[in-house]
Amino acid sequence: MKTNAIYVRCSTADQNYDYQVEKCQEWAKAHGLPNVAIYADKASGKDTNRDAFQQLQADIFAGKVESVIVWKLDRLSRSLKDGINILSDWLEKNVRVVSVTQQHDLSGPTGQLIAAVLLSIAETERNLMRERTAEGIKRAKAQGKYAGRVKDSIKKKNGPKRAAELSAKGHSLREIANVLGVSHGTIRNYLARAKS
């Protein structure tokens, strides 16, 4: 019997994909999809070199997977080219691909077109975010407020203090996260810890 797969991904080790899993499982249950297997990665979506993703690919090409449920299509890939290639390959194998938050059930040529548009939007958003981050760092450097990334060995020890200092200087969560090289959630935790 073929498996219905849930694929989830978060970009860093300190992020959590439990919410993605929960919502994808709810969708599968509501649509009567049994035998759900979870494939989960904590890795960047910039390429496809991820353990769980590679296992999912192998299972799809071995004919073991009937459907793939994702929270959003950008969980599969942050690259438009990779994303389109992945979906094209899967759809050619008659694998049903469902994006829960985008409420799309992709199949056939129409599904491929919709997927291409959604992946293109995701890539554009990522590029804009990168540009805004670079501009924020440039401004911070010009104002003498940018100290560069903190080395991993120092992050855990000095993270809350450094986050509080940068916050006091008026930096946004995004800017502080980029400076310290951690997620927004970690920065929120750092600032809460610094207050206590």
The encoded tokens of residue 183 equal: 């997620």
Query: Furthest-apart CA pair in the chain: how many Å?
Result: 62
Average the pLDDT over 101-130 and give the result: 70
Q: Are 191 and 166 a contacting pair, CB within 8 Å?
A: no
Identify residue 84 by its one-letter amino acid code. Answer: I
Least confident of 22-31, 73-82, 94-103: 73-82
Q: What is the pLDDT of residues 127-146, one digit of tens each?
A: 777 788 888 888 888 888 77
Q: Report residue 26 CA to chain centroid gap.
A: 20
Q: Is the pLDDT of residue 188 over 90?
A: no
Please determine, for residue 9, whether its predicted confidence score (pLDDT) is greater than 60.
yes
Q: How confident is the model at residue 55 (pLDDT cuts 50, 70, 90)?
A: very high
Q: Does residue 153 register a pLDDT over 50?
A: no
* pLDDT at position 23: 92
- Does residue 80 surpass a pLDDT of 50? yes
Query: Which of 37-41, 48-52, 175-179 has the largest mean confidence?
Result: 37-41
Domains observed in the chain: 3-124 (3.40.50.1390), 147-195 (1.10.10.60)
For residues 142 and 196, the model is more confident at: 142
Distance, in Å, from the CA atom of 140 to the CA atom of 182, rounded to the nearest integer, reads: 18
Instruction: Tell me if 64 sits within 8 A of 3, measured CB to CB.
Output: yes
What are the structure tokens assigned to 1, written together?
A: 């019997």
How does DSSP assign 73-96, residue by residue?
GGGT-S-HHHHHHHHHHHHHTT-E
Tokens, residue 92: 């050619």
Report whether pLDDT(6) > 90.
yes
pLDDT at position 29 is: 93
pLDDT of residue 22: 93
Number of neighbouring beta carbons within 10 Å of residue 155: 16
Mean predicted lDDT score pLDDT of the chain: 81
Collapsing DSSP to helix, strand or coil, 46 comes out as coil
| Spacing of C-alpha 69 from chain mean position | 15
The whole-angstrom separation of Cα 11 and Cα 184 is 12
Say whether 24 sits in a helix, a strand or coil. Answer: helix
Q: How big is the chain, counted in residues?
A: 196
